[in-house]
Amino acid sequence: MNRKRLLLLNGSPRKAKTSYVFARTIKHLAEKKGHKAEIIHIIEYFDEEKHFDALKDIILPQDILGLITPLYVDTLPYPVIWFLEKLSCDLAGELKGKEFFAVAQCGFPDADLLHPLLESCRYFAKAVEMRWLGGLGYGGGALIDGTPLEKLGRKGKKIISAFTSALDDIVEGKNISPSAQGLLTAKIPKILYRPLAAFLNYRKKREAYLQGVSDADLTRKTYLENYKL
């Protein structure tokens, strides 16, 4: 068997939540198949807890890079954008030929919201001449909230099956099969969309209030404050 080395990039600023749970599961699945896998947290480099210069020795031996990230304001979180831009500048030419995939998740159940994010990842791969293996999108990540997939019963098993299917393609250098995305796509009746959206918005607001954010902060349009016709 051709053993591969995978580096999984956790793009969430919160190091123990849903994106990490997904990365941890993919790591364990890869190791069960005899491959090597490790996880790094992008936020540690963005916050300068770790030196970006040391990443070169971590990244260059890898065969495959995988980004596992949440959706923030309809796109990649800013630390992830910063990280990918640093890679494209500091490792220009040295990523060529490596393989790249992405797994994205958002709080809302509609995984179609993740298409622009995954397209950005495809563009990054093209820009640095890596081979894009495709991406997966999961809607409803906020409801997982860092719970290990093996503790989520039937839903967790379905997500693990999707990652297993995708990983089979990834380690063989194939594009991720649409069937893996099919396993991840939740079929939620449209009548439930509004109540579910209201519940998720309530949870996010409550979390913001706990961090000291006020109603005025939530509705503030900073981008208009200094704008004059």
> pLDDT tens digit string along 73-124?
889 999 999 999 999 999 988 999 999 999 999 987 778 889 999 999 999 9
Query: What is the average pLDDT score of the chain?
Result: 88
pLDDT tens digits for range 97-107: 999 999 999 98
Answer whether residue 147 is part of any domain.
yes
Rounded Cα distance between 79 and 83, Å, is: 6
Answer whether residue 71 is part of any domain.
yes
Answer whether residue 224 is part of any domain.
no
Q: How confident is the model at residue 190 (pLDDT cuts 50, 70, 90)?
A: low
Read off the CATH number of the domain in which 184 is found.
Answer: 3.40.50.360
Query: What pLDDT does residue 192 have?
Result: 60
Q: Which domain holds residue 152?
A: 5-188
Structurally, the chain folds into a number of domains equal to 1
Sequential DSSP letters for 59-103: HTT-SEEEEEEE-BTTB--HHHHHHHHHHHHHTTTTSTT-EEEEE
Answer whether residue 113 is part of any domain.
yes
Rounded Cα distance between 132 and 5, Å, is: 16
Tokens read off for 129: 């001449």
Answer whether residue 127 is part of any domain.
yes
Query: What pLDDT does residue 86 have?
Result: 94
pTM: 0.84
Highest-pLDDT range among 13-17, 24-28, 52-56: 24-28
Answer whether residue 212 is part of any domain.
no
Query: What pLDDT does residue 223 have?
Result: 54
Query: What pLDDT does residue 229 have?
Result: 47
DSSP letter (8 states) at residue 211: T
Rounded Cα distance between 163 and 181, Å, is: 9
- Count of CB atoms within 10 A of residue 9's CB? 23
Answer whether residue 217 is part of any domain.
no
Answer whether residue 125 is part of any domain.
yes
Residue holding tokens 């449209």? 190
Query: What pLDDT does residue 212 have?
Result: 78
